[in-house]
Structure 1
Amino acid sequence: MNIQSLFLVLALVLTTAELQAQQFDGGIATYQSKTSFDFENFGSREMSEQMKKQFAERMKSRLEKTFTLSFTKDESIYEEEEKLETPGTGGGMRFMGGGFSQGGIYKNIADDVYARENDLMGKSFLVKDTLSKLDWKLEKESKMIGQYAAFKAIAIRKRDVNPFEAMRRGREEDTTAVDMPKEEVITAWYTPQIPVSQGPDEYWGLPGLILEVSAGRTVILCNKIVINPKEGLDIETPKKGNKVSRAEYEEIVAEKTKEMAKRFGNGRRRGPGQ
């Protein structure tokens, strides 16, 4: 056993023993989420360089976010930390003339429940369904993340289409859109030192808290954990909005993006006096 492996084992044993010596009531983990974006090649031919530059400046603040995961053994809520908006950007995401915002992700592992409150173009939806399950493959590779010994796991899932891609695909005249990969590899790092099957975003199902996730262009990394916080935990099940399943909500989003893309395309084609 090399020195790094020995250090990992010692850290795992010591921290696990410490947790077992105290009553575990849950914790709060802070994550930094960063998403890369191809600003150079984004935009249609009709967009000026100035328009592309303004768009890139507004998007950069939305591609780096801070989240907190409040968790117990069975429940968790993953929420974005509130921050002051840059003047002129407005709250939430402007969605082709409407609003698009998402609430915290609630997961109940014991009852197999996923729930999230979303606002889409003036309408509130309660997306409630069973948890998304990944077929994790545990790897032997390990590393330290802060003071925690973390182990690697990988999974393959169907690739989600975000609203920007959906809008682009919905434009019938856009011949530059290309088919994206239908699957993506998810790489996660979890620590058995915190023996809960929770994680950031929709990720869960590993024998320890997930500290890091890489999926597509997004990396989520934990940089702080507080076990048994003095102020306690506030984990509430989302309840507001028109109740729909995950599949039903995806259909609604797809339909709305197509409608908005067509309106936008028709609007661009109008000439003076038309």
Structure 2
Amino acid sequence: MTKVVLISSFLLMGFLAKAQEFQGKAEYFSKRIMKKNAEKIVAQKDEPLDPELQKAVEEAMKRASEKQFVLTFNKTECLYEEQQKLDKPEANDGMSISISFSSAGKKYLNVKDKNSIVEDNIFGKEFLVVEPIVQPEWKLIDETKKIGDYNCFKAELLIPVSEKQKKDYEEFLKKEEKKPALFKMEKPEDKVVTAWYSPEIPVSFGPDNYWGLPGLILEVNDGENMLLCSKVVLSNKEKAKIKAPNNGEKTTQKKFDEILKKKTASMANEDGVIIFEH
């Protein structure tokens, strides 16, 4: 029978107190979980897509989802950032499609000061989104597996639909009643995130926005994307300074969302398509 335990702030603080003074780096790569209805991204029509076009879309989706990240951490803070890489040249002997998934910049977390700082931008203007951190309510599950050389344990996190997501979807439905949108919005649903963490690496951090477990998170699956750790390097040398992002206008997440919504609306046509003027 599977055992489930709710992790508490008390447990986490006790865990942190026992952690040794060390630092480390973990490398991750992302994989997008492809859905069968990916062709809807290209066309809203009944007839099937051309096989060559379908193949080009699938390959473009795969390339866009394959990113690499590095997490630098010590006992109390961490910095998560994407590793930039040069795209390989492609042969022009067939159809080629380019797809890009946008993401925020560097993400900094400090469990001692209880705050996070995330680099983000709105059409070229840079912001620093500063927010207090809230302990995630992970459920620890009595299941184990090996990732590399590390023994890992399973945990799950329920992320309910936010009020912002509900409001955005309601606004979309109202617009849809007046005129069908070119790009459809799926109804937001609660999401269950599965993570695998190792107490053998005694820090409470992980990739992206995931943290708060009694061990480094080495794998995350949110149903749409997977983040997998490929390498961990630990050091007992003198702790190096982890630099928090400092380039951009400081704001809160709520204010950032308001600015983004206003700016996006001002640049969209009646079909909701963003128009870029040169």
TM class, shorter-chain normalised? Answer: 0.7 to 0.9
Counterpart Cα distance in 1 of 2:109 and 2:129: 12
Counterpart Cα distance in 2 of 1:217 and 1:202: 15
The equivalent residue for 1:45 is 44
Matches within 5 A, 1:156-167: 156-159=158-161
Normalising by structure 2, report the TM-score: 0.71
Contact 1:24 1:228 (C-alpha < 8 Å) held by counterparts: no
Relative to structure 1, the CA distance from residue 57 to residue 224 in structure 2 (aligned partners, 3 Å threshold; closer, same or farther) is same
Gaps of 5+ in 1: 1-18, 95-99, 269-274
- Displacement of 1:188 in angstroms is 0.9
Relative to structure 1, the CA distance from residue 195 to residue 265 in structure 2 (aligned partners, 3 Å threshold; closer, same or farther) is closer
The equivalent residue for 1:62 is 64
Gaps of 5+ in 2: 1-17, 91-95
The equivalent residue for 1:271 is none
Counterpart Cα distance in 2 of 1:211 and 1:231: 24
Contact 1:101 1:120 (C-alpha < 8 Å) held by counterparts: no
- Displacement of 1:187 in angstroms is 0.8
The equivalent residue for 1:29 is 26
1:247 counterpart (229, 238, 254):
254
Amino acid at match of 1:244: T
The equivalent residue for 2:10 is none
Matches within 5 A, 1:35-184: 35-38=32-35, 39-45=38-44, 56-86=58-88, 102-159=104-161, 169=172, 173-174=180-181, 177=184, 179-184=186-191
Normalising by structure 1, report the TM-score: 0.72
Counterpart Cα distance in 2 of 1:204 and 1:186: 12
Counterpart Cα distance in 2 of 1:141 and 1:262: 50
- Displacement of 1:223 in angstroms is 1.6
The equivalent residue for 2:195 is 188
1:224 counterpart (226, 231, 242):
231
Contact 1:134 1:157 (C-alpha < 8 Å) held by counterparts: no
Residues 128-168 of structure 1 show CA distances to partners (whole Å, capped at 9, x for unaligned) of 11125321111111111111111111110135799xx99xx
Number of corresponding residues? 239
CA RMSD of aligned residues (A): 3.8
Say yes or no: does 1:208 pair with 2:215: yes
Contact 1:35 1:218 (C-alpha < 8 Å) held by counterparts: yes
Counterpart Cα distance in 2 of 1:120 and 1:231: 38
Amino acid at match of 1:40: E
Q: What SS class does the counterpart of residue 40 from structure 2 fall into?
A: coil
Percent identical residues: 38
Relative to structure 1, the CA distance from residue 132 to residue 252 in structure 2 (aligned partners, 3 Å threshold; closer, same or farther) is farther
Contact 1:31 1:223 (C-alpha < 8 Å) held by counterparts: yes
The equivalent residue for 1:3 is none
Relative to structure 1, the CA distance from residue 126 to residue 87 in structure 2 (aligned partners, 3 Å threshold; closer, same or farther) is farther
Q: What SS class does the counterpart of residue 102 from structure 1 fall into?
A: coil
Relative to structure 1, the CA distance from residue 173 to residue 132 in structure 2 (aligned partners, 3 Å threshold; closer, same or farther) is farther
Relative to structure 1, the CA distance from residue 230 to residue 80 in structure 2 (aligned partners, 3 Å threshold; closer, same or farther) is farther
Stretch of structure 1 that moved more, 121-130 or 246-255: 246-255
The equivalent residue for 1:7 is none
Contact 2:21 2:239 (C-alpha < 8 Å) held by counterparts: no
- Displacement of 1:121 in angstroms is 0.6
Counterpart Cα distance in 1 of 2:129 and 2:180: 32
Relative to structure 1, the CA distance from residue 204 to residue 101 in structure 2 (aligned partners, 3 Å threshold; closer, same or farther) is closer
Stretch of structure 1 that moved more, 29-38 or 74-83: 29-38
Amino acid at match of 1:75: E
